[in-house]
């Protein structure tokens, strides 16, 4: 695999140092720049190119969610790995809805987990640390809204929901099912309409709650 270019964004110098130490333990990871705020990050992007950003969530001013949302609009090809000490269900759900590719804990992530996360994301596979996966499981089974489901779901629709549950991006879902990305998007829009919902996270939660798919 060619050199992976990385930007580190965190408002704490010690956190940036810890992330740099973790990622630079590999010879194929290269930190091209660091920023201590969202504004500084977007200024940095004017002068450097990167494959992935390691992004703190809880920052003053422009927080991580705002940075991620803007980045997805302006640089959709750039991957986002959230690295945060805050992993509440609200935060995790918000970041998933934005479409980040990974989420690990600032408190517990080892050098190995940083490496696994970055490599998985760059191979097109979303990555969530063990403690984040635990939050995801609680998130998916804690939905309070129960709806009357009168529509039947095809096996392919169920499979798409299952792959969304496993946090696979659309391109990988298309490859797994041997269909086009446009077809995946069409199925997801139809599923949103059937369920009366507007996001992938809500779709998965509702499908699990109503027995359309299993929690895992």
**Domain co-membership, 97 together with 57:** yes
Which is nearest to 48 in space by CA: 37, 38, 34, 29? 34
CA-to-CA distance for 173 and 161, rounded, in angstroms?
10
Q: How many domains does the chain have?
A: 2
The alpha carbon torsion through 194, 202, 77, 67 (nearest 10 deg) reads 140
**Domain co-membership, 113 together with 172:** no
**Domain co-membership, 117 together with 164:** no
Domain boundary among 108, 140, 172: 140
Q: Per-residue confidence of the chain (216 residues) as pLDDT tens digits? A: 589 999 999 999 999 999 999 999 899 999 999 999 999 999 999 999 999 999 999 898 899 999 999 999 899 899 999 998 877 777 777 887 788 888 888 887 889 989 999 998 898 878 888 777 666 666 555 544 444 454 578 889 889 998 988 888 888 899 999 999 889 888 888 888 877 777 788 788 888 877 788 776
CA-to-CA distance for 107 and 114, rounded, in angstroms?
12
**Domain co-membership, 161 together with 123:** no
Domain boundary among 84, 112, 140: 140
pTM of the model: 0.67
**Domain co-membership, 84 together with 191:** no
Strands (DSSP E) along 36-71, which ranges? 52-55
Contacts within 8 Å (CB) and 24+ apart, 211-214: 212/149, 212/153, 212/158, 212/161, 213/158, 213/161, 213/162, 213/165, 214/162
**Domain holding 10: CATH number?**
3.40.50.2300
Q: For residue 82, what are its two tokens?
A: 């959230």
For residue 92, the enclosing domain spans: 4-140
């Amino acid at each position: 695999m060619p050199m992976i270019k990385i930007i580190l964004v965190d408002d704490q110098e010690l956190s940036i140092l810890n992330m740099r130490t973790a990622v630079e333990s590999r010879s194929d990871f290269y930190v091209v720049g660091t920023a201590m705020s969202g504004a500084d990050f977007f200024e940095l992007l004017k002068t450097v190119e990167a494959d992935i950003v390691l992004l703190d969530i809880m920052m003053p001013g422009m927080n991580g969610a705002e940075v991620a949302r803007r980045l997805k609009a302006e640089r959709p090809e750039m991957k986002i790995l959230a690295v945060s000490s805050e992993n509440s269900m609200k935060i995790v759900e918000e970041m998933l809805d934005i479409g980040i590719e990974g989420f690990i804990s600032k408190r517990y992530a080892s050098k190995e987990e940083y490496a696994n996360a970055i490599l998985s994301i760059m191979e097109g596979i979303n990555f969530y640390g063990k403690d984040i996966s635990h939050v995801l499981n609680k998130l998916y089974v804690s939905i309070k809204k129960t709806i009357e489901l009168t529509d039947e779901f095809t096996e392919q629709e169920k499979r798409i929901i299952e792959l969304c549950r496993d946090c696979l991006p659309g391109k990988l879902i298309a490859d797994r099912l041997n269909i086009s990305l446009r077809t995946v998007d069409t199925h997801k829009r139809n599923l949103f309409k059937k369920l009366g919902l507007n996001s992938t996270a809500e779709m998965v939660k509702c499908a699990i709650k109503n027995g359309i798919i299993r929690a895992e």
